[in-house]
């Protein structure tokens, strides 16, 4: 049975062991008050933003994975189907990024000779993203300033999940796929504009203690449908989601919780249409891919592989009040991520 949490609770017991799991609409989970006793190399933290408009997509991620730290930036043209990606590996991060222990406040800043990135959380719930990467791609610089604003009264999907085969490991996540994006990015001589009602932002926030290996499927998207903001986040993987899945549908920022969601993919061709179904029979969705990208990072015994596909989602969803909504051509992505330590 899925368990919704409505009151603030520490997910760690007095001995630092994870002991409280479930899902929530607000940031009730706490883990900063008790010490995490596993070695620092097993503690992981990441902030990722995916920002899209009708013409372009921008993905930015900061990861402290213990031994492996990195910053990843990707710029995608949906018209030309071209992408430019740059990764900056920072060995032995081990907490040096000083990433906040909650998703509502603080900032993450990376300042190196080749990069300057700042993710800042505001008291209003908005996010400000600033970045300057002089030698991003083929001598083209990348710099920009983007403001991400939440819809009024927006809810997020928070999860705390254990791993089935590792009692010490857990993952605390926040999924907010509904940000309204406004800003501009200078890429070489080109300017990429993100304007209200045409641009959206997705937040993927993760903290926890990692297992030795993990696999995760995740898809998310956001857009306008019949004048209403429509967004979703669905996924599953090695973590145990029996007490709270990562699946939710958002209408104007309001969360409609889903049970298990299955991805139906042709393993021989990820660019063929996908289908998504939910165990509670509330969601039926198809995905038409536009383009695909892969990435791989390795340091010592740490390996991470990501396969990601971008495209449009269409389907229908039964809301909490029993009414049905149809949506079409919502821009988003789907991915598989494998990690091994």
First and final C-alpha spacing in the chain: 31
CB 162 within 8 A of CB 244: no
**Neighbour count for residue 311 (Cβ, 10 Å):** 23
pLDDT of 31 strictly over 80? no
pLDDT in tens, 112-164: 878 999 999 999 999 999 999 998 998 899 999 999 999 999 999 999 999 98
What mean pLDDT do residues 298-318 have? 90
What is the rounded distance in angstroms from the CA atom of residue 240 to the CA atom of residue 220?
20
Q: What is the pTM for the complete model shown?
A: 0.96
Identify the pLDDT of residue 34: 56
Q: What is the DSSP string of 252-264?
A: TTEEEE---EEEE
- In total, the chain counts a number of residues equal to 341
Q: What is the DSSP string of 42-54?
A: GEEEEEEEEEE-S
What mean pLDDT do residues 240-259 have? 96
Of the two residues 15 and 100, the one the predictor is more confident about is: 100
Strand 29-30 to strand 9-10: parallel, antiparallel, or no bridges (unpaired)?
A: parallel
Identify the pLDDT of residue 326: 96
Q: What is the DSSP string of 78-108?
A: TTTTEEEEEEEEEE--TTTT---SSSSS-EE
Identify the pLDDT of residue 35: 60
Sign of CA dihedral 79, 80, 84, 85: positive
Of the two residues 171 and 297, the one the predictor is more confident about is: 171
Of the two residues 261 and 303, the one the predictor is more confident about is: 261
Which of 146, 145, 147, 143 lies closest to 187, judged by CA? 143
What mean pLDDT do residues 170-195 have? 96
């Amino acid at each position: 049975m899925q368990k919704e949490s409505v009151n603030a609770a520490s997910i760690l017991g007095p001995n630092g062991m994870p002991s409280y799991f479930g899902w929530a609409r607000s940031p009730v989970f706490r883990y900063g008050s008790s010490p995490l006793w596993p070695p620092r190399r097993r503690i992981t933290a990441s902030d990722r933003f995916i920002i899209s408009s009708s013409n372009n997509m921008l993905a930015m991620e900061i990861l402290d994975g213990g031994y492996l730290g990195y910053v990843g930036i990707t710029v995608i043209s949906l018209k030309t189907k071209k992408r430019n990606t740059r990764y900056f590996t920072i060995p032995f991060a081990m907490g040096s990024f000083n990433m906040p222990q909650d998703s509502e406040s603080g900032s993450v800043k990376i300042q190196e000779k080749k990069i300057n990135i700042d993710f800042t959380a505001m008291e209003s719930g908005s996010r400000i993203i600033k970045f300057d990467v002089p030698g991003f791609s083929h001598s083209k610089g990348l710099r920009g300033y983007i403001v991400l604003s939440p819809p009024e009264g927006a809810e997020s999907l928070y999860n705390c999940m254990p791993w089935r085969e590792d009692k010490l490991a857990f993952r605390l996540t926040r999924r907010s796929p509904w940000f309204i994006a406004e800003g501009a990015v200078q890429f070489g001589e080109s300017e990429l504009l993100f304007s209200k009602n045409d641009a959206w932002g997705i937040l993927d926030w993760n903290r926890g203690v990692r297992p030795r290996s993990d696999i995760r499927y995740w898809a998310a998207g956001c857009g306008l449908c019949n004048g209403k903001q429509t967004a979703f986040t669905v996924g599953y993987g090695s973590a145990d989601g029996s007490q709270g899945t990562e699946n939710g549908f958002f209408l104007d920022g309001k969360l409609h919780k889903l049970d298990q969601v299955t991805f139906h993919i042709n393993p021989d061709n990820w660019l063929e249409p996908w289908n998504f179904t939910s165990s509670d029979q509330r969601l039926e969705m198809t995905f038409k891919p536009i383009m695909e990208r892969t990435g791989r990072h390795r340091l010592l015994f740490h390996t991470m592989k990501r396969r990601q596909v971008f495209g449009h989602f269409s389907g229908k969803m039964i809301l909490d009040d029993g009414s049905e909504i149809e949506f079409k051509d919502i821009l988003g992505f789907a991915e598989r991520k494998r990690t091994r330590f």
